[in-house]
Amino acid sequence: MNRRVTDLAVETSGLVKIFGDTRAVDGLDLTVPAGTVYGVLGPNGAGKTTAVRMLATLLRPDGGQARVFGHDVVREADAVRSRVSLTGQYASVDEDLTGTENLVLLARLLGHRKPAARDRAGLLLEAFGLSEAAERQVKTYSGGMRRRLDIAASILSTPDLLFLDEPTTGLDPRSRSQVWDIVRAVVAHGTTVLLTTQYLDEADRLAGRIAVIDHGRVIAEGTPGELKSSIGTGTVHLRLRDPAQRPEAQRVLTRALGVPAHAEADPVAVTARVSGTGSEYGAAEEASRVLAELAAAGIVVDDFSLGQPSLDEVFLALTDRPAEPAATEEAAA
Ligand SMILES: Nc1ncnc2c1ncn2[C@@H]1O[C@H](COP(=O)(O)OP(=O)(O)OP(=O)(O)O)[C@@H](O)[C@H]1O
Ligand SMILES: [Mg+2]
């Protein structure tokens, strides 16, 4: 097989999907190298699920092209299907079955004999921390447990490409980090992962490259580092002892960072974006310089944090508007 082709897990050009008046995917160009986690970051209604469903051959494109490991998703759908697995945004496991029953059933459908299916199910349940819950009906599981079971189901037979569609939306921090560990383990075994998410921090932690999509198109693409340096590395949040010092604090911040500092609703709170480009050592160094300047100006800071930009801030920086859900999504909600 041609090496150039197999090095790419996904290659789309001008991919389009139209639902009625909605161009859900509108000229999507994606290039996903094999063997990595690729993050697709976008707000509600950006077209993430629609794009993934076309790549997994569940939806037929209305225009453009998409290849998975060199195979066209329309003309060579069987070849694509044999190499991919999809964990949907909406879990696909059966509520009335136990964890074990679900995995054994799916393994049997994949052609494993019963003893092998039971072995595989047991191994995965243990690896995903679900051994104790294995004989309980899935309807008694927490959201995090269900999500883990769903990912386990999608890697019963090791796919070459795994689609994870918002695997951590709605999970608590502990469950999120468990899912992240699973994703890392899956990639370490050689599977390429295409992960959709609404969280920049998630894409940042897991993905080698990220595409930011909006209205069905890529509006920015690069490594997490490239993306963050193009949008500002983070935001400093300050709480002052004395609200009367806030105007002076804003002046110091604006001078030190070269961007406007915002007064929040809370009378002692101030925030400002930190680019990290003003310093060889990045955002943390720039933030600590700001703290020193505030102290020198006699401003008392009670609380300080440096956070990653949120998806909203990414969108503000890239599009000059916040990450609003698509109109049809709002209507549906
Ligand atoms: N089957 C469908 N019929 C009609 N419109 C659809 C259908 N599926 C998706 N859409 C519309 O296409 C657009 C993209 O939807 P999609 O589900 O791909 O977004 P998403 O990025 O996955 O959003 P979310 O983060 O909410 O999951 C939305 O405007 C949505 O309402
Ligand atoms: Mg979706």
Nearest bound ligand to the CA of residue 333? 1
Q: Which atom of ligand 1 is nearest to the CA of 43?
A: 25
Q: Which is it for strands 192-197 and 262-263: parallel, antiparallel or unpaired?
A: unpaired
The answer to whether residue 127 scores a pLDDT higher than 70 is yes
Burial of 56 from C-beta contacts in 10 A (0-12 / 13-18 / 19+): buried
Both structure tokens of 316:
């503000």
Pocket probe mutation, ligand 1, options 15, 16, 19, max atoms within 8 Å of Cβ: 19
Residue 326: the pLDDT is 53
- Distances in whole angstroms, Cα of residue 2 to Cα of each of 16, 98, 233: 27, 44, 39
User: Of all protein residues, whose CA lies closest to atom 5 belonging to ligand 1?
Assistant: 19
What secondary structure letter does DSSP report for 47? S
User: Of all protein residues, whose CA lies closest to atom 2 belonging to ligand 1?
Assistant: 19
Residue 4: the pLDDT is 44
The answer to whether residue 90 scores a pLDDT higher than 70 is no
The sign one gets for the Cα dihedral 190, 196, 197, 200 is positive
Please report which confidence band the pLDDT of residue 281 belongs to, taking 50, 70 and 90 as the band edges. Answer: low
- Fold (CATH) for 233-308: Alpha-Beta Plaits (3.30.70)
Q: What residues have CB less than 8 Å from 152, skipping those under 6 apart? A: 103, 124, 125, 127, 128, 130
Q: Which amino acid type is present at position 19?
A: F
- Fold (CATH) for 3-225: Rossmann fold (3.40.50)
Q: Which amino acid type is present at position 170?
A: G
Q: What is the DSSP secondary-structure string of 84-152?
A: EEEE-SS--S-TTSBHHHHHHHHHHHTT--HHHHHHHHHHHHHHTT-TTTTTSBGGGS-HHHHHHHHHH
d(CA 147, CA 195): 14
Q: Which atom of ligand 1 is nearest to the CA of 325?
A: 26
Burial of 114 from C-beta contacts in 10 A (0-12 / 13-18 / 19+): exposed
- List phi, psi (to 5°) of 238: -120, 145
Q: Which atom of ligand 1 is nearest to the CA of 198?
A: 25
List, for residues 155-203, the tens digit of each pLDDT value. Answer: 887 889 999 999 888 888 888 888 898 889 889 989 999 999 988 889 9
Pocket probe mutation, ligand 1, options 15, 195, 329, max atoms within 8 Å of Cβ: 329
List, for residues 209-245, the tens digit of each pLDDT value. Answer: 999 999 999 999 999 878 876 776 678 899 999 999 9
- Residues with a CB atom less than 6 Å from ligand 1: 19, 22, 24, 42, 44-50, 89, 198, 326, 328-329
Pocket probe mutation, ligand 1, options 49, 89, 311, 312, max atoms within 8 Å of Cβ: 49
d(CA 190, CA 52): 20
Radius of gyration of the chain (CA): 23
- CA 192, chain centre distance (Å): 14
The answer to whether residue 317 scores a pLDDT higher than 50 is yes
d(CA 170, CA 206): 18
- CA of residue 282 to ligand 2 center, whole Å: 34
Closest CA to 205 of 60, 28, 56, 41: 41
User: Of all protein residues, whose CA lies closest to atom 24 belonging to ligand 1?
Assistant: 44
Q: Where are the domains of the chain?
A: 3-225, 233-308
d(CA 277, CA 184): 30
**Claim: this prediction has a pTM higher than 0.85:** no
- List phi, psi (to 5°) of 183: -60, -45
Quickly tell me which residue has 């951590």 as its tokens.
168
Burial of 70 from C-beta contacts in 10 A (0-12 / 13-18 / 19+): middle
Please report which confidence band the pLDDT of residue 328 belongs to, taking 50, 70 and 90 as the band edges. Answer: very low
